[in-house]
Structure 1
């Protein structure tokens, strides 16, 4: 079984296309973020990713204020929910590690959530992830 260090994956950065601020709504097939009802702005943020697909998995998530180099990692609460008690102020951007082949790949989603994000809202990341993991859900080839 191959084990990949979260820190080693940092070097597998991949940029992505991002929608402009004026782009309305979620685009079909794009990775989206849903703010969970348990979130409490501005101190606690819980999110769920939508439209990832069954052939891959998000294994790490970081969040920061748009334009800031100071990333905060998010904890995986369960299979679907990522959370943090260190919510940056201002509009938020995210980076995620997605399983790709036998390794992981970083994706950056900038300008995803506005400063006044709301529970239950869905925000388009502008990412269309098509990678496929070679490992099954049990971590076996």
Structure 2
């Protein structure tokens, strides 16, 4: 599986992490089922300060370069949280790979064909117009 450099922004906040890299968890390890649509904020409803996705996007590019060139410490097993109001960046640990994960766990059942045919809108019960941006690298 390829590493996933994942960034998101909403309002005045952003987050960034790297999934499925050097033994770190894949996205499905941490989020096996989507939250209810009522718990999710959308850019169209909540807005986003334009500079926040720019900052997160630059950080995503940097993470991809670190992975591709095998230098530094990519954000595997950690998540960067950015607060534009206070100009604070916090890095928190995230749990590791789940042995029960249906995508990358010991008894994974998710096939490449299922991945290619996966209906994300049906799975999340919402349209794809979300603020989250992802870069696949390597």
Q: Normalised by the size of structure 2, how large is the TM-score?
A: 0.27
More helix by share: 2
Query: More relative contact order in 1 or in 2 (CA 8 Å, sep 6+)?
Result: 2
More strand by share: 1
CA radius of gyration, larger in: 2
